[in-house]
Amino acid sequence: MTKAKLMLASWARSFATAALTCYMTYEVVTWKIVMNAGLAAVIPMIIRYLNPKDAAFGRQSAAA
């Protein structure tokens, strides 16, 4: 359970950072743009989760 919390905290930090950066950068911002930036930032971590050989956040390591 601790690894799941660490993984979710990492996802939340990346999402928030990308969304906030996008919000602060553009003059005209829509929620769609901000959400897309946040989701794009989380994609690499989803790929890490799906990789069973990833020692930190891989599917096999989360179950152990």
Which domain covers residue 44, as residue numbers?
2-63
* Domain count of the fold of the chain: 1
Q: What is the pLDDT of residue 61?
A: 56
Q: What is the pLDDT of residue 1?
A: 66
Task: Convert the pLDDT of each residue in 24-49 to its tens digit.
Answer: 887 788 888 888 888 888 898 888 88
Q: What is the pLDDT of residue 3?
A: 76
Q: How many residues does the chain have?
A: 64
- How far is the CA of 61 from the CAs of 10, 31, 38, in angstroms? 16, 35, 25
The pTM (predicted TM-score) of the whole model is 0.68
Nearest to residue 12, comparing CAs of 36, 34, 45? 45
8 A C-beta contact, residue 33 and residue 26: yes
Judged against a pLDDT cut of 50, whether residue 64 lies above it is answered with: no
CA 12 to chain CA centroid, nearest Å: 6
Q: Looking at per-residue confidence, does 58 or 36 come out higher?
A: 36
